[in-house]
Structures are given as structure tokens and as C-alpha cells.
Amino acid sequence: MKPSGPIDTFQPIADRPAPVQTVGPVAWMRENLFSGIGNSLVTLGIIAFLVYYIPPILDWAFFSANWSGTTEDACVKDGACWVFINAWSYQFFYGTYPLEEVWRINLMLVLLLIVIAMSFTLPKHYRMKASIAAWLALPLVGMAILYGGWGGLEVVSTDLWGGFTLNVFMAAASIIVAFPFSFLWALGRRSQMPFIRSVSVIFIEFFRGVPVLSLFFMGSVMLPLFFAEGTNVDKLIRVWLVLIFFMSGYMAEVFRGGFAAVPSGQYEAADSVGLSYWQKILLIILPQVIKISMPNILATFVMLFKNTTFLLIIGIPEVVQTLQTALANSYWLGGHALEGYLFVFLVFWASCFGMSVLSRRIERTLNTDKRD
């Protein structure tokens, strides 16, 4: 058969646009918001909830709020009295630390940030050693700078420390000092020596099994009786001590998980090249354990950081305690609890959320490392 006409060159028809049901905003909404009756109802419910509640909240917090002034009399409008936060903001952050010495707190915050940055950015071949040394030195340097009493620095006694920075420093100082101890406890728990193992198990389980609040009470009312007669340890130091114990129990379990996650070939290889026990642990295993445990260490830190608010119950002037002191002041008796707590809510939420985002990012980096 011959073709009856001239052969047409192939002429593609222009692509038809995809049906409206599958692309574009409508499809997206169908897919994500209104797929099915149940889903649609839920969607409408959530939207109605937001529309109903958000405007009055915005109005209270922003549009009819009182922003300027220094005393309670400045709060004349119906909305939030942010003047209260403003007037007390110094104490909320720094406690009653003297104003002319406050650079010391800021310096410590900067040092903390520098050390954090160091542990991620230093050249790889000495990053681990340098940053571990820097971390361990940090609490000592911090005590020296904040407490003073040397090199012309005025002594600022610990009962003047307070506010949000106290929460940060207590949490950071406890976890850092607990670090080497928890490492030893974790090793102890893996040890073959029966007595050492059982002591480690008892220690770890005790500090993980009892409420942190009861530990704080121990620090505040029981520890003074433990010291030799006439010796008197500062309350903040006692609580710090208790927090270090508490944290070493928790961190020991984190490290135990880390030790278990290091492939046994690493231990065997270290043994086979003739490293001693401590060489093996410190040079081969520890760096890997720290890396593997990083997300868990951060999670533990977040937990500890949130738990520092419990210090309120034993009267340490951390941020919530400072807030309650402010609420009890006879010139601010008008009931600004809502503004105060909201402020503390936001500060804590922002810091903890930031850390959990950071921890997830680290986790992701670690995962890619493994894939190489």
C-alpha cells in the first residue's frame, strides 16, 4: 500500500494544561486541607478557632498595651502593662548584680558563645582537644569573673546573682562540670569489676530515679548538715553541687548509649595496635562517643535548663523567683502576673526551641557523615 497523500511531518499538539484538580492552589488546598469531609471539618474548625481568638490577643498585647513609663501609674490603658516588664527587665536578666559590674556577666555570655563557636569551627586536627579544654575551663573562669575578688575585681557575692542569666549559667556550669564525672560513671557501669560496677549503677539510678525538686531541697536544707561543724558552703554552690550530681547521673546514661553505639571493631582495633586502656578510651572511643551523643547531650541540657526554674521553690532568685518578688512589691501590686509570666514563657520558649532546632541540625549532619 502506498501512502495516498504527502507524508506530513509530525506536528505535536501543544501540551494541555494539567487539570485544575491536580495543580495550582486549588489542588493544593484539596490535597492538603479538604481531602474528605472529616478533614474539611477539622480545617474549618481550626481556622474558626484562629479567627476567633487571635484578634483579641493581638489587641491586648499590642494595640491597647501600655509601652512607656517607669511606674505602675503609667498603665492606664486596658491592654497589657509592658511597663512592668520594662521597669524590672534588668533584674529579670541580671538579678541584683551591680550595674557597674554587669559587663562581667555579658563577658561570660560572650565567652560562652565563643566556646560554642570554637567547637564547630576550629581546624579539625585539634578541634576536639582545644574545645574540650575550653569547655572544662569555662566554669572556673566563669566563677572567677563573676565572683571576683582578684586582680582588682570587686567581690560580688552569690546572693546578688540572679535572673535569666543565672538560669543559663547554672545549667551550663552544671552540665560542663558533670561531663568528666558522668564519663567515669558510664565507664564504671561498663566495668568488669563487680564492686565498681554496682556502685556506679546505684549512683546513676539514684540520681535518675528521684525528683530533681527533692534534690534541690537536699541542697537547701539537708546539705548544710553534711559539712563539718562551722564550715559553711554558699547556698548557690550547694545547689550547684547537687545539680552536678544530678546531671552526672543523666549524662552517664547518655554516654552509656554512646559507648554502646561505637562499633566493637573500634575497640578491637585499638586493642590490637597495643594501646593501653586509657589511650584506647581517650583517643579512640571518647571522640566518637561525644560525636554520637551530641543530640542527646543537647536534649539533656534543654531538660536541665527548663528544670532550673524549679530553683524558685527553694528561693534562688532565678528568673521566675525574681518575677514573683517583683509581683510582691508593694508599689506594683496591681496584678501583672499575666504579662510577667508571658514574658518568661517567651524567653524560655525561644531559647529551648532554638536549641532543639540546633540539635536536629547536628543530628542531620551526623547522619550524612555515616553515609560517606
Q: Name 318's bridge partners.
A: 163
Among positions 37, 150, 367, 368, the unique one binding other proteins when judged by CB under 8 A: 150
- Restricting to residues 25-54, name those near other proteins by CB under 8 A: 31-33, 35-36, 39, 42-43, 46-47
Q: Which of 53, 62, 126, 353 binds other proteins (CB under 8 A)?
A: 353
First-last CA distance in the chain = 62
Q: Who contacts 206 (Cβ-Cβ below 8 Å, separation ≥6)?
A: 249
Comparing CB distances to other proteins, the nearer of 55 and 224 is 224
CA distance 320 to 345: 10
CB atoms under 10 Å from CB of 313, counted, come to 13
Amino acid at residue number 252? A
Closer to other proteins by CB, 121 or 192: give it.
192
Specify the residue, 1 or 99, whose C-beta has the smaller distance to other proteins: 99
Q: Does 367 bind other proteins (CB under 8 A)?
A: no
Verify binding: residue 310, other proteins, rule CB under 8 A: yes
d(Cα 220, Cα 213) in Å, to the nearest integer?
11
The Cα 10–Cα 178 span in angstroms is 76
Give, as ranges, the residues between 97 and 136 that touch other proteins (CB under 8 A). none
181 near other proteins (CB under 8 A): no
| 243 lines the binding site for other proteins (CB under 8 A) | no
With binding defined as CB under 8 A, does residue 352 bind other proteins? yes
143 near other proteins, judged by CB under 8 A: yes
- 328 lies in the binding site for other proteins (CB under 8 A): yes
Verify binding: residue 96, other proteins, rule CB under 8 A.
yes
Among residues 26, 48, 222, 283, the one that binds other proteins under rule CB under 8 A: 222
Q: How far is the CB of 17 from other proteins (least distance, A)?
A: 24
Can you read off the three cell numbers belonging to residue 66?
Answer: 501600655
Work out whether 312 is an interface residue with other proteins (CB under 8 A): yes
Determine if residue 335 is left, alpha or beta; phi over 0 gives left, psi from -120 to 50 gives alpha, anything else beta. Answer: left
If one asks whether residue 21 binds other proteins (CB under 8 A), the answer comes out as: no
Q: Which of 329, 361, 364, 365 binds other proteins (CB under 8 A)?
A: 329
Q: How far apart, in whole angstroms, are the C-alpha atoms of residue 101 and residue 106?
A: 10
Please report how many Cα atoms fall inside a 13 Å half-sphere around the Cα of residue 316, on the Cβ side. 29
Q: Does residue 211 interact with other proteins by CB under 8 A?
A: yes
* 308: nearest Cα among 293, 321, 327, 298: 321
Nearer to other proteins, 6 or 263 (CB): 263
| Residue 210 near other proteins by CB under 8 A | yes
Q: Which of residues 332-351 bind other proteins (CB under 8 A)?
A: 333-335, 337-338, 341, 344-345, 348-349
From 158, 165, 296, 359, residue interacting with other proteins (rule: CB under 8 A): 158
Angle at alpha carbon of residue 83, lines to 82 and 84, rounded to 5°: 85
Is residue 330 close enough to count as binding other proteins by CB under 8 A? yes
Which of 5-13, 61-69, 87-95, 286-294 is the region at the interface with other proteins (rule: CB under 8 A)?
Answer: 87-95
Among 6, 7, 331, 371, binds other proteins (CB under 8 A): 331
Alpha helices, DSSP H, located in the chain: 24-32, 37-58, 82-94, 103-121, 124-147, 163-190, 194-209, 212-217, 223-226, 235-261, 264-272, 277-279, 286-307, 319-327, 337-371
Among residues 68 and 330, whose Cβ is nearest to other proteins?
Answer: 330
User: Smaller CB distance to other proteins: residue 96 or 288?
Assistant: 96
With H, G, I as helix, E, B as strand and everything else as coil, classify residue 275: coil
Q: How far is the CB of 15 from other proteins (least distance, A)?
A: 28
The whole-angstrom separation of Cα 335 and Cα 342 is 13
